[in-house]
Structure formats: structure tokens, C-alpha cells
């Protein structure tokens, strides 16, 4: 499948990049910590699904306030190159599938040597939240999370670095996005071997960055991310 794309052009303006880089550590580290503290000290402890919805609502509000222009400009690009964006998403699906199979085979061999299995703690946490409120988790994972995460990890991180170095744009964005899903468990359980689970997120991280690069619109990886999460949650519900 050949996808003809113009030279990559990040549509994020300087002010939007600054606001994105400012919010990134808040989203990855500070807000989860504060919500965790709140859950401990609150007289009426909210359930995990409610806390995570609040987490992503904060992110959505921030993105819509400071980066709505970026989203609008990228939506125009999506509409101007609909066929290319669709092909990019389809190709990203196959990239994710092939890499996931390869990484599964590798991790199936590596993880047992560290006393770990293939069920990572983040997936177990999502499963537990889904049991508390499936519709809430579905709305969060399919409609809120992908917008916030794609703007930050692809729009801000990948887009900022891509002009200087394509290789480093992939390395940094993939590493950050993969570690983002597991670092808190390594700290909570004081077990650095849990960071190995970040490798499970490398395939989709590569596919999402590739989808953004080839489509030229942040909405292509957003929609692809939504589809991946929707499929995962649907399978989870029916297993």
C-alpha cells in the first residue's frame, strides 16, 4: 500500500507548542498524583472510573482552550485529504497488527524470566474500572482519551521534534507514550520490572506516530486511536 504524502508540516503554532509542553508533565505526573491524594483524603471516595473521567475532562478542557485552533486547522487538512487520511489509518492498523504479533512473541519469552505474565497492570486496572461502569469507561477511553493523548504525544512531542530529526521524533514520542501507561505501577509496587510492560505499547505508539506523519492531520491518529480503544473494550466486554 503506497501512500503519497507531502513533506510533513506540523500545524501547531509556537504558542500552542509552549502550552502543550507546559501541560504534558501535568497530565503525565502531577494531575494523577493529585487525584490519587484526593481519593485518599476525601470523606466519600469516588470510584476509579469517576476519577479517570475527571482526569481526561481536565485534559479536554485544556486542549479546547489552548489548542482548539490546532484541532480546527488539522480538521481542514483531514477534509482536504480524506482518501490519504483513510489510507493512513488502514495502513496504521496493519502496522500495529504486525508489530503487536512480533512483540507478543518476544514478550512471551522475556517476561516469564522476570516473573511476569502478559497481563499488564494497566489492562487489569481498565478491566476493573469497566466492571464499575462500562459506559463511563467506554466514553472516557474512546472519546476523551484519544483527543488529549494524540494532541500531546503526537501533536506536541512528535510534531515538535519531527522537523529536526525524524528518528528522534519516533523514539521520544514512542518511549513517552509507552512509559506513560505503566510508570505509575512500577512506582506504586516499587517494582521496576513492571516498566517492561511499556514494550506492549510500542507497536501502537509507532502506528499512531506513523499515521500522523503520513496523513498530515492529527485527526487521523485520533480516529485510529478511538477505533483501537473501542475494539479493545468491546472484546473485553464479550470475553
Domain ranges of the chain: 14-238
Neighbours of 49 (CB within 10 A): 21
Looking from the CA of 129 toward its CB, the CA atoms found within 13 Å total 22
How large is the average pLDDT for residues 30-45? 81
- State the pLDDT confidence band at 3, using cuts at 50, 70 and 90: low
Q: What is the phi/psi pair of residue 99, to 5°?
A: -65, -35
Q: What mean pLDDT, rounded, does the chain reach?
A: 93
pLDDT (0 to 100) of residue 39: 75
Model-wide pTM > 0.75: yes
92-99, Cβ contacts within 8 angstroms, sequence gap of 24 or more:
92/207, 92/208, 92/210, 92/211, 92/220, 92/221, 92/224, 93/207, 93/224, 93/227, 94/1, 95/203, 95/206, 95/207, 95/210, 96/203, 96/204, 96/206, 96/207, 96/228, 99/202, 99/203, 99/206, 99/207
Amino acid at each position: 500500500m503506497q501512500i503519497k504524502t507531502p513533506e510533513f508540516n506540523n500545524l501547531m503554532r509556537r504558542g500552542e507548542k509552549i502550552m502543550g509542553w507546559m501541560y504534558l508533565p501535568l497530565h503525565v505526573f502531577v494531575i494523577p498524583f493529585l487525584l490519587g491524594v484526593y481519593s485518599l483524603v476525601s470523606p466519600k471516595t469516588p470510584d476509579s472510573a469517576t476519577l479517570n473521567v475527571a482526569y481526561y475532562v481536565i485534559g479536554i478542557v485544556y486542549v479546547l482552550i489552548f489548542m482548539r485552533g490546532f484541532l480546527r486547522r488539522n480538521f481542514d487538512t483531514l477534509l482536504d485529504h480524506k482518501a490519504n487520511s483513510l489510507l493512513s489509518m488502514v495502513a496504521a492498523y496493519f502496522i500495529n497488527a504486525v508489530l503487536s504479533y512480533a512483540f507478543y512473541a518476544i514478550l512471551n519469552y522475556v517476561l516469564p524470566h522476570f516473573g511476569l505474565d502478559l497481563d499488564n497492570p494497566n489492562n487489569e486496572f481498565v478491566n476493573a474500572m469497566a466492571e464499575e461502569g462500562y459506559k463511563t469507561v467506554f466514553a472516557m477511553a474512546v472519546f476523551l482519551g484519544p483527543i488529549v493523548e494524540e494532541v500531546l504525544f503526537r501533536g506536541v512531542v512528535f510534531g515538535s521534534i519531527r522537523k529536526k530529526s525524524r528518528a528522534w521524533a519516533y523514539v521520544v514520542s514512542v518511549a513517552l507514550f509507552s512509559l506513560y501507561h505503566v510508570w505509575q505501577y512500577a512506582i506504586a509496587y516499587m517494582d521496576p520490572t513492571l516498566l517492561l510492560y511499556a514494550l506492549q505499547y510500542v507497536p501502537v505508539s509507532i502506528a499512531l506516530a506513523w499515521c500522523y506523519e503520513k496523513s498530515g492531520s492529527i485527526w487521523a491518529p485520533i480516529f485510529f486511536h478511538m477505533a483501537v480503544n473501542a475494539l479493545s473494550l468491546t472484546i473485553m466486554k464479550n470475553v
